[in-house]
Each structure stands twice: as structure tokens, then as C-alpha cells.
Chain A
Amino acid sequence: MKRPTSIPSVLIVEDEYPIALAIKSTLSDAGYRIVGPVGTIPAAIALISTTENLNAAVLDPNLRGEIASEVAQSLTDRDIPFVLVSGYSRHELGSWASNAELIEKPILDDRLLDCLDRLIPRRQGAV
């Protein structure tokens, strides 16, 4: 079934409320449909499994002191691309994050949007 390209939806997983709010504002303004934001691992995994047509995710890899590798795995399992936004550098995060896109905090809006553009059109082109 062909539907006109719907608005891409992006999941926001970020435990810091102001940051989540800011990402949400930025992505909303850019025309994305926002899923979340959520600040805990269980909430994120629940949303991933219940949301259809999730096109991408913005993921803080450290949620209330816990490493969010499980969330990343869950996204990978569903072929959902994601970008990590973190105060940690890549080598501090560990091997599971070595191939992921990473934007270091504080986040520049343009860089986040560019990153999502890269992740989503490529997916669609491939489909």
C-alpha cells in the first residue's frame, strides 16, 4: 500500500527533562513527529515495541546512571537508526556505541537535524 510519505517520526530518549524538551522543540519545529520523550530504559523499550513506523531515535546513552545499550540493541533489532547524544565521548561509552552516530552535548540543533536527515532519507531510499 502506497501512502504519501508520512511525516517521519523520531523517538526521543533523554532523562534530563529540559534537554528532552529542547530536542522535542527543535525536532517539532523541523517537522518531525515526536515519539516520547521518555527518560527511562523500560519506558523507551516499551515505546519502541509499541510504536509503528518509527523512523529514527535520538538516544541519551546514559539514563539516570544506567547504560542504555539495551535500548540501542532494541533499536538495532528493528533496523531503526539512531543518534546518540551524550556528554561522554565515544571511547568512554564502550564498544556497543562504536559504530553509532554520536553528537556530543551541548547539542547544536543544525548538527542534530543534519544527522537525522542522513539517517532517514537513506533508509527510505533503500526501501
Chain B
Amino acid sequence: MSGSDPELVLSLVDNLAQPLVVVDRDDRVVFANDAFYSTFAVTRRSALSRSIYEIGACDRPEMHRLIDAAFTEAAGLTEACRIELASEGADHFSFMVTARRIAAGRSGPSVLLAFDDMTSRAAATAPQRDDSQLILTLIDQLRNASDADCGMSIAGELLGRHLDATTVAFAEIDDAGEYATVVADWNASTEDSHPTRYRLSDLSPSLSRDLSEGRTVVLDNVCLHPQAPEAPCKEGSAQDVGYAVLVVPVRNEQRLVGALAVAAGPARKLSSAQIATVEEFAAHTWEFAERARIHRALHDSEQRLRLAQIAGGVGIWEWRRDTGEVYWSEQSRLMFQFAEDVVPTYEAWVSAVHPEDRAPLEAGIAAAWDHGRYSADYRIKRSDGATRWIRSMGVTDAVVSHSIMRGIDLDVTERKEAAEQIRRSRARYERLFNSIDEGFCIIEMIFDRDERPQDYRFIEVNAAFERQTGLDNPIGRTVRELIPDLEEYWYEIYGHIAKTGESKRFERWAKQLKRYYDVYAFPLGDVKEGQLGVLFRDVSDRKRREQQINDLIGEVNHRTKNLLSIVQSISTETARDTDPIEFSERLSERLSGLAASQDLIIRGNWSSVSMSDLITSQIRNIIGERHDQISMCGDKISIKPAAAQTIGMAIHELASNALKFGALSTDGGSVKVEWYERGPRVVLSWNEEGGPAVYPPSAQGFGRCVIEDMAAYALGAEVELNYDREGVRWRLDAPSEDLIAEEPGGRT
């Protein structure tokens, strides 16, 4: 080759793999080779005359510095600068850019930029301890940090070692921007220890303002153990070495919240690259710490929520109406026994609800979207066949979206069942309470100052209470109001039960109520409350019957003795006028007659005896069933028992005599018995005829006494007795009042 062949040169340049570009004083591209165009994906036409800073990602401070330096330096290679640039195809490249001022041509001085592709070289060679690698390491290590403090410690150590610093500290700064409190630090030597709290103004008067405005501050000679407000250390101080301190602010929404401080001692100057590294660290670490704190808080609150859910058996759900998304917590899922693969949807939930409860529940939810609140108890059918009661409550989200409802689920089956059990047993108790015939009341004793029972109050009464006492509406009132004259023993008995707690059954009279009660009283609940349950029954009727029976037994005893007296008298009198040989037979006859009358008296309930029955039974007693000789005729009247006994005895004696001596002693005789009631008198007659001739008896025997005197004596009657020759005639004429029974059936 000889001389200069522009074509050859151009061809050479275009064939170089290294991108080259020449820019003029105005940073405009005046020449570039093919490698440049292809690397930065621009065409020659679009690139020429454009500013180099408009191409790729060349608009970087480092590029400016580099190009400026190349123009100002007289000649030679200016410093190379590693710059990350992006082509227009968004591919990232890492280039080492070299700038050289070249001969001024027509267009004045220009600078040649040569790009060395470092991307492939970095991958090919061993990793370098450069900043980006350090940041990657940091990010990597932070990923493993368990919390904010741990992250800051890792970052502090990494940074401290990289910069060969003395101390790296992360600090929080209070709202006033006055104090910084170290929350995590790293020290090169374990012997070093520094205060954890600094007043920013002690370190530098303008520190607080600089940091607040987001500026990184470099302090050249700082004492980390300030003894006096004047911050800078005295020169030559043995203890307090001056440090170079770099403070990077951390701001959250324009507000200063913390700082990363790096101290390197003894004082030295930090390069801009180092400063950038520290800034990068501050940003990364703080972001991590924030995230870790939020994460931690979230974790804590989730844990607490989970515990609350488990302890309270509470499930949680969320439903977005607009997207149909549903979330339910594990607790809710288990409550409904949804399989794990069931996708949470509103429909899935509704399908679990008991068919009878679905419609009202869905209506309730629809309404809840309007008024923001929902609460319902409903049954679900679980996959295991069990029916459970669920209580759900929810509220719509008033902040983010009204289409979101969140709430809780509670399994209230046991609660419902317990409540139902109580309701049922209460109902059963009330039904029993009100259906029994016995009166029942709960009373509360009232004692006076000396603990003597004074009164009692009705707390509760059953339906039968009024029927059993005749007391109306007693609840809340005291017995002294209702029954002022109640006997003292009621208070004494109840007071005793209330005090001792011993139940008692007793029968007592309540005179004012005119009732006799059978009572069972027992203490209710705590003895101190003085409440008693009193179960009682009005047994007045039973008492009356018992009294009647007692009276009756007494009466039977009396009448028996009376009858025995009569028997005794009859036997005495019979003995008096009868031959001993006949005595037994005569007495037997008379007693038999007496017994026949007694039968009728008892059958008539000691109140009345039919005259006809009486006469028939006495005659039959003497002559058996032979009726043909006797005719009986009379009114249908009933007579008193005493009269029946007297008349029965008289008829007995008449019949007995007639059979022995009179009309019935022969076949031709006859007897006519007649009775009638005429006005105030009753007349009974006995007339015989056709018998043997009659002679009056010579002696006045017992029989004749009975026939003649007894009726007169006992009935106040007039008695006529004639021993006519044709036959005996007997007539009794007695006042009705002494004879006729007063009981119904006495007259008909």
C-alpha cells in the first residue's frame, strides 16, 4: 500500500469488529463504522449529524466527562471509562469506552470514541470485585436474611469490608430530624463501640437540612465520641480520631426517615464510585428492611388472626361481587367440609346451605349489599351428612370497593342445640307446671330483724294456683296482703324450711280460705335466697269425707251399743214372763224380727224404710211365704228408722200371737193389714177374723207392752187394742211428723 487510499481505509474501518464513532465539537456524529451502526441498531442516515447522546444510552455523565476531557486534553488517550449502554434494540451492553482527540479537519477538532465490548469479556473471565457484583451479592444475601435487623447487619458488614471502613451504621431519624438512633451497625474491630444516638447538629450544623433535602453528605473529620457540642475533633487528640464520614439519607415520600453512615478512619477521601456504592447500599438495604418489617408485621398479624380463628372456631371469607372471586379460610373450609380442591365460589357456598334456608339467606345477602351489613344463622348439609348451624356475619368494604364483602363464619350448632335444649326443657317444665292439678308456687320468705319469718312473697305460680286457692293475680304480692288472717303456723313451717333447707310434707287448715291443704314444700336453690317451692292440693273434700267416715264409725258404734242394749232389754223382759223352756225360742224369734227391721233400716241408709217392705218382712219372718191368709194394703210411704224399729216389733208381736192363738192358727182365719196417711196422721191397722174365739190375756206380758205401750211411748201414737171374740183388732194412729221420713222418698 502506498500513500493514502480513502477507500481502503474506509473498507478497513468498516471491517473492524470494534464500534468506532467520530464526534465533533457539538457532539454530533460525523463518522461511524458499520460495527457501530449494527451494534447500536441505527442506520447511517439516522445516525449522522445526530448528537451522540441521542443514540443508545450514551447520555451519561461519564460520557460527557469523557468527551469533554478528550476535547480539553492536548492529545493522547484519555482515561477509559466503563459504561453500560443500551442499544436501541434494548439489549444491554457493557462497554469500555476510549476517547481520543484526532486531527482537526474541515469541521474543526473531533474526538474518536472506540467501544470495547466488555459484556462477553466479563462472562468469560473470573468475576471482578466491582460495584455491580457487590450489589448482586448484597441482593443475594438479603434474600436469605430473616428480618430487617439481620439484613442491615449483612449489608453493613458487606459494605464495611468492601470499603475497608471502620464502622457502618444504619440509623433511624426522628420526625423533627434532630436525632439519629443506630438500629444496626458493623464495626471493623470488635473493640470499637460507638454511641447509638447522635444529635445531627453535633456532627454538622447543616447535616439535618442536607439529609432532609436528599443530599448525601461527606464529612471529612468527624469525632464519633463528641464530648462537647462542637463537633470537629481537636487535632492530635489521642482518644478521638477524626473520621471520614459519609451519610446517605433515606427518604420515604420526601420525608427523612433514616440514614446509612459509613465512617472510615483515619480521615480519608472517598471516591465518587465509592459514594455511589454506599448510596446504592442504602437504597437496597432500606427497601429490604422496610419490606422485611412489613412482612414481619403481616406475618405476626396473620399468626394472631390464625390463632384467633382456631381458638374461636372462626372462619373468614371474602367475596368480590364484581369479579365473582371468593376466598374462604382454612377454618371456613373445614367448617363446611369442602374438599380441598373445591374452588371457592358463591355458588359452592350456597349449594352447601340447607334447602329450606337458602331463599331467606340469599335475600338477606342481596339486601346486605345495600345497607352494608349482613348477619344470618342458617343450616348447612355437610358432605358427611351432618346438619350444622352456621352463623355468618359480614360487612361490605367501605374504603376500597363496595363490591367487596368480608366476614366470618361460626359453627353455632352446639350453642343452638344447648339453647334448644333449654327452650325445650323450659317448655316441658312449663307444660308440667301448668297442667298439674296441684297448685304450685315459688315463694320468697321475708324475715324480720330477729330472723323470724314474717311474710312471704309469691314469685311464680302455676295455672292451678288460682283454682286451688281462689287467689287472683298473686305474683309479686305478699301473703299478708292477700290473706291477712293466715294462721301463724304457715309462716313458722315455711320459715323453718327456708332456714334449714329441709323439705316437709304437712296438712294444714287455712281458715280464711275455708280450705284444708296437703302441702309439700321444699327449698329452691341457695338457702340464703330463702326461696321455696310449694306444691299443694286442696284436700277439704277428702278431709270432710274422712270426718264423715269418723262420724259414721262413731255412729255405728253408738247404734250397735244401743241395739245391744235393746237386745239385752228384750232378753231380760222375755225371761221375765216366759217359761224357761220357751225362752230360747221366743228370744230367737224376737231377735230375728229385730234383725229383719235392721236389714231394712241399713238398706235405707239409716234414713228411711218403706212401710210395705217393713210389714212384709216382719210377717214373712213369722209365717214364711204363706201369703194367702194375709192381705196388705196401704199408701206408699217411707218411715223413719226409729219408727220402723218400733212398728216392726209391734207387727212381730201381733203376727206371732196370731200364729199361736189367733187367725193364723187355723186355715180359715185371715188378717187384713192396712195403712194410710191422712193429713197430719198416719194410721196403721191389724184386723183378724175367722180364727178361734179370742180371750183377752190374763197377764200383761212383754209382747202386749210392745203392742200397746211401746208405740204410744216411742211414736207419741194413740193405740187401740181390742180382743174381740171374732178376732184381735189393733189400730195405731200417730202424728206424721214423728213417723214419716224427711229424706227424699219419704212421701210419694
Contacts and interface: CB of A to CB of B under 8 A. Distances in A.
Interface of A: 15-23, 25-26, 37, 39-40, 62, 64, 86-88, 92, 104-107
B714 A106 contact: no
A78 to B, nearest CB: 24
Interface residues of B, number: 28
A17 B714 contact: yes
A20 B573 CA distance: 11
Contacts of A20: 713
A87 B566 contact: no
B710 interface: yes
A21 B574 CA distance: 11
Residue among B557, B558, B562, B565 facing the most chain A CB atoms (10 A cut-off): B565
B573 A105 contact: no
Interface string B547-561: 000000010011111
Pairs A-B, 10 closest by C-beta atoms:
A22-B569, A87-B561, A18-B569, A87-B558, A105-B565, A17-B710, A106-B568, A106-B565, A87-B562, A106-B564
B621 to A, nearest CB: 18
B573 A22 contact: yes
A47 to B, nearest CB: 14
Interface string B525-540: 0000000000000000
B646 interface: yes
Contact of B642 (A22, A64, A92): A64
Contacts of A39: 713-714
Nearest to B738: A64
Given A64-B642, A87-B557, A88-B558, A17 B709 contact: yes
A21 B568 CA distance: 11
Contacts of B567: 106
Given A105-B562, A106-B565, A107-B568, A21 B573 contact: yes
A105 B576 CA distance: 20
18 contacts: A15-B642, A16-B569, A17-B714, A18-B569, A18-B573, A18-B649, A19-B565, A19-B569, A21-B702, A22-B572, A25-B573, A26-B572, A37-B713, A40-B716, A87-B558, A87-B560, A105-B564, A106-B568
Contacts of B702: 21
B570 interface: yes
Contacts of A87: 557-562, 565
A21 B646 CA distance: 14
Given A17-B709, A64-B642, A92-B554, A25 B572 contact: yes
B646 A17 contact: yes
Nearest to A37: B713
Interface string B676-718: 0000000000000000000000000010011001100110100
Contacts of A19: 562, 565-566, 568-569
Interface of B: 554, 557-562, 564-570, 572-573, 576, 642, 646, 649, 702, 705-706, 709-710, 713-714, 716
A62 B709 CA distance: 21
Nearest to A18: B569
B561 to A, nearest CB: 3
Given A17-B709, A64-B642, A87-B557, A22 B562 contact: no
A15 B710 CA distance: 10
A58 B576 CA distance: 22
Given A39-B713, A105-B561, A16 B566 contact: yes
B568 to A, nearest CB: 4
A5 to B, nearest CB: 28
Contacts of A17: 646, 706, 709-710, 713-714
B737 to A, nearest CB: 11
Contacts of A22: 568-569, 572-573
A105 B558 CA distance: 9
Residue among B559, B562, B564, B705 facing the most chain A CB atoms (10 A cut-off): B562
Contacts of B560: 87
Contacts, number: 69
A21 to B, nearest CB: 6
A107 B642 contact: no
Q: Interface residues of B: mostly helix, strand, loop or mixed?
A: helix
Given A25-B576, A87-B562, A18 B570 contact: yes
B561 A104 contact: yes
Nearest to B594: A18
A54 B315 CA distance: 113
A94 B106 CA distance: 167
A106 B561 CA distance: 6
Contact of A21 (B554, B705, B716): B705
Nearest to A107: B565
A18 B558 CA distance: 17
A106 B706 CA distance: 20
A120 to B, nearest CB: 23
Contacts of A105: 561-562, 564-565
B593 to A, nearest CB: 12
B561 A21 contact: no
Contacts of A64: 642
A21 B569 contact: yes
Residue among A37, A39, A40, A87 facing the most chain B CB atoms (10 A cut-off): A87
Contacts of B710: 17-18
A106 B565 CA distance: 4
A62 B554 CA distance: 14
Given A37-B713, A62-B558, A105-B561, 18 more contacts: A16-B566, A16-B569, A18-B570, A18-B649, A19-B566, A20-B713, A21-B569, A21-B702, A22-B568, A22-B569, A26-B572, A39-B714, A86-B558, A88-B554, A104-B561, A105-B562, A106-B567, A107-B568
A105 B566 CA distance: 9
A25 to B, nearest CB: 6
Contacts of A62: 558
B714 A15 contact: yes
A39 B717 CA distance: 13
Contacts of B562: 16, 19, 87, 105
Contacts of B554: 88, 92
A86 B570 CA distance: 17
Contacts of A16: 562, 565-566, 569, 714
A81 B696 CA distance: 42
Contacts of B642: 15, 64
A22 to B, nearest CB: 3
Nearest to B568: A106
A106 B713 CA distance: 21
Nearest to B560: A87
Contacts of B570: 18
A21 B573 CA distance: 8
Contacts of B558: 62, 86-88, 92
A21 B567 CA distance: 12
Nearest to B714: A17
A115 B705 CA distance: 28
A37 B710 CA distance: 11
Contacts of A23: 569
Contacts of B569: 16, 18-19, 21-23
B566 A18 contact: yes
A19 B646 CA distance: 12
Contacts of B646: 17
A101 B702 CA distance: 30
A62 to B, nearest CB: 8
A108 to B, nearest CB: 9
A26 B716 CA distance: 24
Contacts of B713: 17, 20, 37, 39
B575 to A, nearest CB: 10
A22 B714 CA distance: 15
A25 B569 CA distance: 10
Nearest to B642: A64
A80 to B, nearest CB: 22
